[in-house]
Chain A
């Protein structure tokens, strides 16, 4: 069994009358890429700030590497890399100097630090920009610099708080690939985002948050199994008579069939050959249809089914 890297128990954080974290608990094992998914304001960043001992909390305990985390836990902090939501670099220092500065907060040996800085520059692909000042970098490159500053000292635990906000697709892919590479190199990752596609793509385990609470936790597959929906069939067509719709609703594993905006949407809770059975009914009624496509459930469906609202609608 893997060692527990982060353990949060019953964390409560209040801002006057607002409960930002409501008895939030979490356990992250070594080697995981753990995703904290939730809409803006769900408590992801608050959790990270409490985890880093930046934010005082009202109740609960936090342990990292098996030790209680406090502001003076320098031995723990030494092994943590943090990539903040807001880019935190000095405008007056070049790319190389910024990375050296932040790396130097953790690594005293200048020779070793020089190697680490070079590795970090190569890792984020900023070799050509090492003499550039941050203001000369694009949003994507700036995010990469932010990441390099956070990981240069080779931490065992890396916390990335929404690292891809306002980043172009190319840089986003580069960042996501980089995170997976860091994980392969041995680092445990905590990744917060409100982009479910990113979380689905890279995270080995996911906790979904809403209003300061953990509403679900598990692997991508486990989360999707928690909900009724296992397949959604969409068929573009002009009309469908009520008797045909009733036949579809009566099919085994179909729990919802609705026709709206010239699209027939059928939701199934399992089974096989659902699509073939639906198309047979349409053919039997000699109904014409256009595009047909089947969707597997997403984390948004998980969020929707648990909270009654879509993840994106909550932003």
Chain B
């Protein structure tokens, strides 16, 4: 058994199809996703709004506020202190989004030649800031005039963000929509393992290949021969999934959460599921290996499409139309296991997904073994 396993494993790892589609392709696609989605995220990042401040009279309170909001990792403004003429020139040259004229209060000029959504948003930010500053300053001034003893409590109240809606986070995990692509990429690597399963069957069936016929002549029990071949494919698939996951997590830095061992577990079981699916498909009928492989690849990519490999909202759409399909779609089950770990933080749901994968794997394997149990063939 070990002898068979060793050589079956070697054959898998040296197979050009395995190297190309299950090792290089996921690494390439992951890199492409990373570059593409990295740019999208970068373009969505907040940029500090450039403003000029013209101090028409000294206002220490304003300066303190500005120092606060221009500091830190994500400052609201980048401030240039200038006189009126310099500031107007900067505004005309679109170097800044607005000018704040400061004396006792803050007045704003955002008139300029620029247009467009981003610029308008920046102007709105400048205006809103000035309005909020003025109203806060007016409240404090009014409190000082009427009852100075209430000043601390007023300042405290003003410091609090008041909202009519309470924001409740659904999860502590990463809710970046783009992660779905990477989860589905691993699901794809798992399901492409079906190719390994198909060719395993072809290499063990006398009516499908000369190698199959040759192996059937050997004094070995077919069930033992098939089992060692299947285990070798599982081992090869484990390597492929692990390489892909390691590359995504540790090289590209994709966020798969903190429960990394479980991530590997889900990915590897997904690989077993894919391999056993191929074993089952390979066992049906007498079509050649390439035809069966094409069927498996088409089925795998269709499953991945419906679980969101190409359009990340697809799984949600399927969920509204046919939720049952997501429960039996192997790609959706695998990617859902990753969601459970990183986004939903739900072990119960994760366990359900793992059990679903195991049941599917067992069913496909049993089907495969039943269909290949023949030892004599009607024709070769």
Q: Which residues of B contact A92 (CB under 8 A)?
A: 10-11, 14-15
Partner of A56, one of B15, B209, B378: B378
Q: Which residues 182-225 of B have a CB within 8 angstroms of A?
A: 206, 209-211, 213-221
Which of B14, B214, B215, B380 has the most chain A CB atoms closer than 10 A to its own CB? Answer: B214
Task: Tell whether, in the assembled complex, residue A54 and residue B210 are in contact, meaning their CB atoms are under 8 Å apart.
Answer: no
Residue of A nearest to B211 (CB): A88
A157 to chain B, nearest CB (A): 12
Task: Tell whether, in the assembled complex, residue B210 and residue A71 are in contact, meaning their CB atoms are under 8 Å apart.
Answer: no
Q: Tell me if A82 counts as interface (CB < 8 A to partner B).
A: yes
Partner of B219, one of A75, A85, A97, A100: A75
Task: Tell whether, in the assembled complex, residue B218 and residue A106 are in contact, meaning their CB atoms are under 8 Å apart.
Answer: yes
Partner of A71, one of B7, B214, B375, B380: B375
Q: Tell me if A276 counts as interface (CB < 8 A to partner B).
A: no
A79 to chain B, nearest CB (A): 9
Once A54-B206, A71-B376 are accepted as A-B contacts, the answer to whether A105 and B219 lie under 8 Å apart by CB is: yes
Task: Tell whether, in the assembled complex, residue B219 and residue A52 are in contact, meaning their CB atoms are under 8 Å apart.
Answer: no
Q: Which residues of B contact A71 (CB under 8 A)?
A: 216, 375-376
Residue of A nearest to B14 (CB): A92
Q: Which residues 53-109 of A have a CB within 8 angstroms of B?
A: 53-56, 71-72, 74-75, 77-78, 80, 82, 84-90, 92-93, 97, 100-102, 104-106, 108
Task: Tell whether, in the assembled complex, residue A97 and residue B10 are in contact, meaning their CB atoms are under 8 Å apart.
Answer: yes
Task: Tell whether, in the assembled complex, residue B220 and residue A15 are in contact, meaning their CB atoms are under 8 Å apart.
Answer: no
Which of B14, B209, B215 has the most chain A CB atoms closer than 10 A to its own CB? Answer: B14
Once A56-B378, A92-B11 are accepted as A-B contacts, the answer to whether A74 and B219 lie under 8 Å apart by CB is: yes
Task: Tell whether, in the assembled complex, residue B210 and residue A53 are in contact, meaning their CB atoms are under 8 Å apart.
Answer: no
Q: Which residues of B contact A72 (CB under 8 A)?
A: 375
Q: Tell me if A204 counts as interface (CB < 8 A to partner B).
A: no
Query: What bracket does the count of chain A residues touching chain B fall in?
Result: 20 to 34
Quick one: CB contact mask for A12-52 with B, threshold 8 Å, 1 for yes?
A: 00010000000000000000000000000000000001001
Q: Which residues of A contact B214 (CB under 8 A)?
A: 82, 84, 88, 102, 149
Q: Which residues of A contact B376 (CB under 8 A)?
A: 53-56, 71
Task: Tell whether, in the assembled complex, residue B213 and residue A54 are in contact, meaning their CB atoms are under 8 Å apart.
Answer: yes
Residue of B nearest to A74 (CB): B219
A149 to B217, CA, bound (A): 12
Partner of A78, one of B14, B219, B377, B379: B219
Once A93-B10, A105-B219, A106-B219 are accepted as A-B contacts, the answer to whether A56 and B377 lie under 8 Å apart by CB is: yes
Quick one: CB contact mask for B366-377 with A, threshold 8 Å, 1 for yes?
A: 000000000111
Residue of B nearest to A57 (CB): B376
Residue of A nearest to B209 (CB): A88
Residue of A nearest to B379 (CB): A15
Once A71-B376, A90-B7 are accepted as A-B contacts, the answer to whether A84 and B218 lie under 8 Å apart by CB is: no
Task: Tell whether, in the assembled complex, residue B10 and residue A87 are in contact, meaning their CB atoms are under 8 Å apart.
Answer: no
Task: Tell whether, in the assembled complex, residue A53 and residue B375 are in contact, meaning their CB atoms are under 8 Å apart.
Answer: yes
Q: Which residues of B contact A82 (CB under 8 A)?
A: 214, 217
Once A55-B377, A56-B376, A105-B218 are accepted as A-B contacts, the answer to whether A87 and B210 lie under 8 Å apart by CB is: yes
Q: Which residues of B contact A93 (CB under 8 A)?
A: 7, 10-11, 14
Q: Which residues of A contact B211 (CB under 8 A)?
A: 88-90
Residue of B nearest to A50 (CB): B376
Q: Which residues of A contact B145 (CB under 8 A)?
A: none
A85 to B15, CA, bound (A): 24
Q: Which residues of A contact B220 (CB under 8 A)?
A: 74, 105
Once A53-B375, A90-B7, A93-B10 are accepted as A-B contacts, the answer to whether A105 and B215 lie under 8 Å apart by CB is: yes
A84 to B210, CA, bound (A): 7
Task: Tell whether, in the assembled complex, residue A88 and residue B11 are in contact, meaning their CB atoms are under 8 Å apart.
Answer: no
Task: Tell whether, in the assembled complex, residue A88 and residue B213 are in contact, meaning their CB atoms are under 8 Å apart.
Answer: yes
Point out residues on A near B: beta carbons under 8 Å.
15, 49, 52-56, 71-72, 74-75, 77-78, 80, 82, 84-90, 92-93, 97, 100-102, 104-106, 108, 149
**Can you report 22 residue pairs joining A to B where beta carbons are below 8 Å apart?**
A49-B213, A53-B375, A54-B216, A54-B217, A54-B376, A55-B380, A71-B375, A72-B375, A77-B217, A77-B218, A78-B219, A82-B214, A84-B210, A88-B210, A90-B7, A92-B10, A93-B10, A93-B14, A104-B7, A105-B215, A105-B220, A106-B219
